[in-house]
């Protein structure tokens, strides 16, 4: 089962599970985005953060920022995406 939107252009998908980080008091969600670089689809693994998002019923999970992960901000389709900066090779995405 794949919740991701099929698209021939740039796009993004989230896992639809929003967590709440009690350390920075922010809701966040894992996200995957892709864009075309020449003929290759480049995948971006990152996170979206939602300020002023209702926290009721959200699972409390420390976010990647508070875990000290290396991130860089990317503006992607008008949303701020926090891209995970991987010092090793970027993870290959399965199944696409």
Interaction residues for Zn ion, span 11-40 (CB under 5 A): 21, 23-24
Longest dimension (CA), the chain: 43
CB of 25 to Zn ion, least distance (A): 8
How is residue 4 written in tokens? 């991701």
Question: Residues 31, 46: contact at Cβ < 8 Å?
Answer: yes
What Rg value do the Cα atoms of the chain yield, rounded? 14
String of contacts with Zn ion for each residue 36-65, x by CB under 5 A? ---------------------------x-x
Q: 27 or 33: whose CB is closer to Zn ion? A: 27
Interface with Zn ion: number of residues (CB under 5 A): 6
């Amino acid at each position: 089962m794949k919740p991701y939107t099929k698209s021939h252009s740039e796009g993004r998908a989230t896992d639809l599970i929003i967590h709440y980080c009690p350390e920075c008091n922010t809701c966040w969600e894992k996200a995957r985005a892709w864009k075309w670089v020449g003929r290759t689809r480049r995948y971006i693994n990152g996170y979206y953060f939602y300020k002023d998002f209702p926290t009721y019923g959200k699972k409390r999970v420390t976010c990647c920022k508070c875990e000290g992960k290396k991130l860089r901000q990317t503006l992607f389709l008008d949303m701020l995406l926090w891209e995970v900066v991987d010092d090793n090779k970027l993870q290959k995405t399965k199944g696409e």
